C-alpha cells in the first residue's frame, strides 16, 4: 500500500476521533484491569469453561463453513442475476444483521422448533429437533452471521473486473471452470474477509442461541452464554470469560488484518 500523504488534522476533529477510540478501548481496559490474574489459570481450566470453549469453537467454525457453502453462491446470485423481488429478498436475507438476535431466536423457534411451522413436520418425519441441540446452536449462529459473509463477497463480485471472466469464456472455458479458476481466485481475499467477520460474529452470538437452542453445558452452552450466567454467580469468572473471547477475536482479527481485511 502506498504511504498515505501526511495530513494535518484539525484539533477538534482529532479530539472527536480520540473520544471515539476511547469509547471502544475503555471497556476493554476495564476488563483487563478487573481480571483476577492470580486465579486466572484455575478459573479458565474449570471443566465448564473448557466445555464452553470447545463448543464455541465447534459451532462458530461449523456456522462459518455452512455460511461459505451457502453464502458464496447466494452472493454470486445477488451480484450477477437479475430477478423480480431481488431487492426484497436481499433485504430479508441481510435482516439478521440489524434484527435483535433474541427476535431472530424467536423467529427460528416458531419456524424450526419442535412445534414450529417447518420444525413440526421435520420432527414427525425424521425425528429431527434443533432446539436444545448443538445443531441448533450452529443454526442460530449461521442465521445471525452468514449475512456478513454474503455482503462482503457480493461487494467484491460487483467491483471485480469482469473482463477476465469474459476472456476466459471466449477462450472456451465452461461457466463452472470460469467460476473456479477465474472468479474464485479474484474474490478469494473477500471470501476470506467475509469468513473472518462471519466467524467472529458467530463466536460472539448470544441472543439467538439462548432463545433458540437453550443453555446446557456441553450441548448448547457457548462461551457468551457461560459468561452471562457466570455474571450472576461469580463476576471474576464472567470477566475472565469475557477476556478470553476478546483475546481470541483480537488475535484472529490482527493476524488476518493484512492478509484479508484490506479487501473489505
**Cβ distance 219 to 159 under 8 Å?**
no
Looking from the CA of 149 toward its CB, the CA atoms found within 13 Å total 28
**Cβ distance 211 to 228 under 8 Å?**
no
Minimum distance, C-beta of residue 103 to other proteins, in the bound complex (Å): 13
Minimum distance, C-beta of residue 228 to other proteins, in the bound complex (Å): 7
Q: Which is nearer to other proteins, 14 or 235 (CB)?
A: 235
**Cβ distance 221 to 52 under 8 Å?**
yes
Minimum distance, C-beta of residue 224 to other proteins, in the bound complex (Å): 12
The cell for 25 is 478501548
Q: Which is nearer to other proteins, 115 or 158 (CB)?
A: 115
Q: Which is nearer to other proteins, 114 or 162 (CB)?
A: 114
**Cβ distance 149 to 93 under 8 Å?**
no
Q: Which is nearer to other proteins, 131 or 192 (CB)?
A: 131
CB atoms within 10 A of CB 40: 15
Query: Residue numbers of the site for other proteins (CB under 8 A)?
Result: 109-110, 113-115, 131-132, 210-211, 214-217, 219-221, 228-233, 235
Minimum distance, C-beta of residue 234 to other proteins, in the bound complex (Å): 9
Minimum distance, C-beta of residue 221 to other proteins, in the bound complex (Å): 8
R_g (Cα) of the chain, nearest Å? 22
Q: Which is nearer to other proteins, 35 or 215 (CB)?
A: 215
Q: What is the spatial distance between Cα 139 and Cα 102, in angstroms, rounded to a whole number?
A: 14
Amino acid at each position: 500500500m502506498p504511504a498515505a500523504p501526511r495530513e494535518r488534522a484539525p484539533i477538534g476533529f482529532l479530539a472527536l476521533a480520540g473520544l471515539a477510540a476511547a469509547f471502544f478501548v475503555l471497556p476493554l481496559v476495564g476488563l483487563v484491569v478487573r481480571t483476577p490474574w492470580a486465579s486466572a489459570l484455575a478459573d479458565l481450566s474449570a471443566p465448564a469453561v473448557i466445555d464452553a470453549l470447545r463448543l464455541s469453537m465447534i459451532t462458530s467454525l461449523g456456522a462459518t463453513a455452512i455460511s461459505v457453502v451457502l453464502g458464496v453462491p447466494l452472493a454470486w446470485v445477488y451480484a450477477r442475476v437479475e430477478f423480480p423481488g431481488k431487492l426484497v429478498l436481499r433485504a430479508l436475507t441481510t435482516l439478521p444483521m440489524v434484527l435483535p438476535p433474541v427476535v431472530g431466536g424467536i423467529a427460528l423457534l416458531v419456524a424450526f422448533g419442535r412445534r414450529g411451522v417447518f420444525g413440526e413436520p421435520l420432527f414427525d418425519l425424521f425425528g429431527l429437533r434443533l432446539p436444545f441441540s448443538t445443531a441448533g446452536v450452529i443454526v442460530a449462529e449461521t442465521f445471525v452471521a452468514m449475512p456478513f459473509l454474503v455482503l462482503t463477497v457480493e461487494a467484491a463480485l460487483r467491483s471485480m473486473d469482469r473482463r477476465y471472466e469474459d476472456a476466459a469464456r471466449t477462450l472456451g472455458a465452461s461457466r463452472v471452470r470460469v467460476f473456479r479458476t477465474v472468479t474464485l481466485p479474484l474474490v478469494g481475499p473477500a471470501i476470506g474477509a467475509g469468513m473472518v467477520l462471519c466467524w467472529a460474529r458467530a463466536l460472539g452470538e448470544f441472543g439467538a442461541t439462548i432463545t433458540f437452542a437453550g443453555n446446557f453445558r456441553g450441548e448448547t452452552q457457548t462461551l457468551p452464554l457461560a459468561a452471562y450466567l457466570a455474571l450472576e454467580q461469580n463476576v471474576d469468572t464472567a470477566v475472565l470469560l469475557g477476556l478470553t473471547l476478546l483475546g481470541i477475536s483480537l488475535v484472529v482479527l490482527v493476524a488476518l488484518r493484512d492478509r484479508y481485511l484490506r479487501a473489505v
